[in-house]
Chain A
Amino acid sequence: MLLDVKDMSLSLKREGKYIRILDQISFHVNEGETIGIVGESGCGKSMTALSLMRLLPDKARLEGKVVLQGDEITSFSKRKLEKVRGNQMSMIFQNPLTSLNPLQTVGIQIEESIILHTKMGKQQRRKRVLQLLNEVGLPRSEELIDDYPHQLSGGMRQRIMIAMAMACEPQLLICDEPTTALDVTVQAQILELMNEIKKETQMGIIMITHDMGVIAEVCDRVIVMYAGKIVEEAPVIELFLNPKHPYTLGLLDSIPKMGIRKQKLGSIPGTVPSPEKMPTGCRFVDRCSHAMDQCRNTLPEMIEINENHYTACWLYDEEVNKSGSIGSQKPETAFHY
């Protein structure tokens, strides 16, 4: 196992008190596997990524365990963690323009990762940067190396970000909405590049997105997050064919499907509850059309539905099902391929 996250919780200080943003997140990533984390804005996807990298604001409290290749990095000192970041574990961000230093050439910025984590000489480093630029599909790398970020297009900038993250051949790559800020055509190119990189390396990837299309394109396994908790986890095909949690169903229902004429796209009523006013039971209860009394009072545990398919919903609890009260309420599967 490449990465094992156990009961990770994150609290941020707001107006004097700690507010829990992430609540006991547990998941794992295997070598060579791409995990998708999906959910609406504000559900804690990006915070999960930043917690793994520990790129958190000063007043943040992180609990639980994060084990990367056998090392419990949650216990690492700042200095020790700097050796892991950009080396074993890299990250790509959403907005490639603001994520690059405007006053440094892209060459220098890619080279910095190499300087920080290897003992390569100047000539070697330059060679490596040129090689990386070629690997991420940027032509005329000899000229590009001395360009500034503002001289490049959005897609090129994101390729630079990828080159920067790949510089030290990390074992784990975290991508936080890498295609969201890009044109649709460029998005496809970047995803294609991600798939190529995936094939060539044995790197584990965490792909954070709100776009089910991106999930379908690159992921092996998917984690659905809602309001700081994981509500469903399944292999990608299983999730699309057999979604269980009403929230996942809602997400899938809200994307247009090729070849199916439908009057109206589905939407989920309401918004994500704010961390200060989290319901005591299931966090989706106020927006769920299948909500029961039980949902309101008690938080559902993750239960195994199929092999590797888990969800946290009372609808699938054996006890609840035995009582027979809701047998007919089970949601219809959204997809029929």
Chain B
Amino acid sequence: MDVLKFVAKRLLLMIPILIGISMLTFAISNTIPGDPARLILGPKATPEGLESLREKMGLNDPLYIQYGRYMVGITHGDLGESTYSQGPVSSDLIRYSPATFELTLFAMMITLLIGIPFGIISASKKDRMADHFTRLFSLLGVAMPAFWLGLLFLLLFYLKLGILPGSGRLDSGMSPPHHITGMYTIDALLTGNWTVLLSASMHLILPGITLAAVTIGMITRMTRSSMLEVLQSDYVRTAHAKGASENRVLYGHALRNGVMPVITLLGMAFGHALGGSVLVESVFSWPGLGKYAVNAITYLDFPAVMGVTLLIAVMFILVNLIVDTLYFFIDPRLKHN
């Protein structure tokens, strides 16, 4: 029951956080110089035409009225009209988000599969070759900007070697699988469409690794330091004193204790990947939220920018809530206190 109480409390806390984020984004996007009406009507627009469009879009009202109108709309599920796509922002978000979630989830999967084992190896072989290698690798991952790494990958694997696709979600001419989740790999898997699954997976590799490079570095370094601390602990010594082998101590005692702080960081890494998708999607022409947001910004499409920001914020908060809730099932000390 403690878990439910905890989740309810955190969900309630979400409301003020989201209000804060919406205020900030709204204020920032409205201080950007530029006139959306002029962008829509183009260079040949008449002053009268501009004025009437501004009036129609509500741009002449004071900022707090505009904000109030926006917030009232949100409570009805109305995120406004996108001036760029000429449709409701909510349906744009529904259309573009599966691509981003697919990419982010894939990146997180690679992060887990590479970051944690690398961290464990690094800690258990401290100051030896394997440790030096993984430390260098993770430092590179954290230090390299994603857009640059993406370009390098494109040059090497797409242009030079030609073994991996460099843009889009599917080979050209291939039609997406039957829509279930909107994530092509999962939909293809569910419908048993193997050719699409292969194509979709190949397309995920380069942007996925680019997006994961930073988070792999983060997780590896965290796992290493946390494992090193745990390996110094008294209960690890007790396990050795019982006659447990190195591997048994490492995987039976140290690992579960060592990954605890890593789990919190995973939530943060997920948020990082969601935000990072903006750049990576632009580099790989990935038709997701990031690319949508970049287009929206260049068109001064404020409702679209607001929509993407709020959606990412909600996702980030929810993922971290899930992560924090996980502790109740991993750490018995929380359950009983």
Contacts and interface: CB of A to CB of B under 8 A. Distances in A.
Interface stretch (B108-116, B129-137, B230-238): B230-238
Interface in B197-252: 233-235, 237-246, 248, 252
B336 A55 contact: no
A126 interface: no
B195 to A, nearest CB: 45
Contact of A148 (B240, B248, B257, B336): B336
Nearest to B331: A103
Contacts of A117: 243
Given A55-B240, A55-B241, A112-B242, 6 more contacts: A86-B242, A86-B243, A101-B239, A103-B331, A151-B336, A164-B238
B253 interface: yes
A268 interface: no
Contacts of B233: 98
Given A98-B234, A99-B234, A103-B257, A91 B333 contact: no
Which of A84, A99, A100, A117 is the most central at the interface, judged by chain B CB atoms within 10 Å of its CB?
Answer: A99
A87 B253 contact: no
A93 interface: yes
Contacts of B248: 116
B235 A116 contact: no
B336 A83 contact: no
A116 B252 CA distance: 13
B332 interface: yes
Chain A, interface SS category: mixed
A82 interface: yes
Contacts of B331: 102-103
Contacts of B330: 103
Given A95-B234, A151-B336, A102 B242 contact: no
Interface of B: 233-235, 237-246, 248, 252-253, 256-257, 330-333, 336-337
B257 A101 contact: yes
A85 B235 contact: no
Interface string A77-120: 01100111111001101010011111111000000110011000
Given A102-B333, A103-B256, A103-B257, A82 B244 contact: yes
A277 to B, nearest CB: 27
A296 interface: no
A138 to B, nearest CB: 18
B245 A82 contact: yes
Contact of B244 (A91, A99, A103, A112): A112
Contact of A99 (B238, B245, B257): B238
A151 B332 CA distance: 10
A187 to B, nearest CB: 19
A116 B253 CA distance: 14
Given A95-B234, A102-B257, A103-B257, A85 B240 contact: yes
A82 B336 CA distance: 34
Given A101-B257, A103-B331, A91 B336 contact: no
Size category of the binding interface on chain A: 20 to 34
A87 B237 contact: no
Nearest to B245: A82
Given A99-B235, A103-B332, A148-B332, A116 B257 contact: no
Contacts of B243: 82-87, 113, 116-117
A280 B240 CA distance: 36
Contacts of B257: 101-103
A98 B235 CA distance: 6
28 contacts: A78-B246, A82-B243, A83-B243, A84-B243, A85-B240, A85-B243, A86-B241, A86-B244, A90-B242, A91-B241, A93-B237, A93-B238, A95-B234, A98-B233, A98-B234, A99-B234, A99-B237, A101-B238, A101-B253, A102-B235, A103-B331, A104-B253, A116-B242, A148-B332, A150-B333, A150-B336, A150-B337, A164-B238
A159 to B, nearest CB: 15
A295 interface: no
Contacts of A82: 243-245
A91 B333 CA distance: 26
Nearest to B260: A103
Sorted nearest first, the 5 A-B pairs with minimum C-beta distance are A86-B243, A86-B242, A85-B243, A98-B234, A99-B234
A101 B235 contact: yes
A117 B235 CA distance: 19
Contacts of A313: none
A117 B244 CA distance: 9
A53 interface: yes
Contacts of B336: 148, 150-151
A85 B234 CA distance: 16
Nearest to B254: A101
A55 B237 contact: yes
Contacts of A161: 238
Contacts of B337: 150
Contacts of A84: 243
B245 A93 contact: no
Nearest to A53: B241
A146 to B, nearest CB: 10
Which of B240, B248, B252, B331 is the most central at the interface, judged by chain A CB atoms within 10 Å of its CB?
Answer: B240
Contacts of A112: 239, 242, 244, 252
Given A100-B235, A102-B333, A148-B336, A85 B256 contact: no
A156 to B, nearest CB: 15
Contacts of A90: 241-242
Contacts of A79: 245
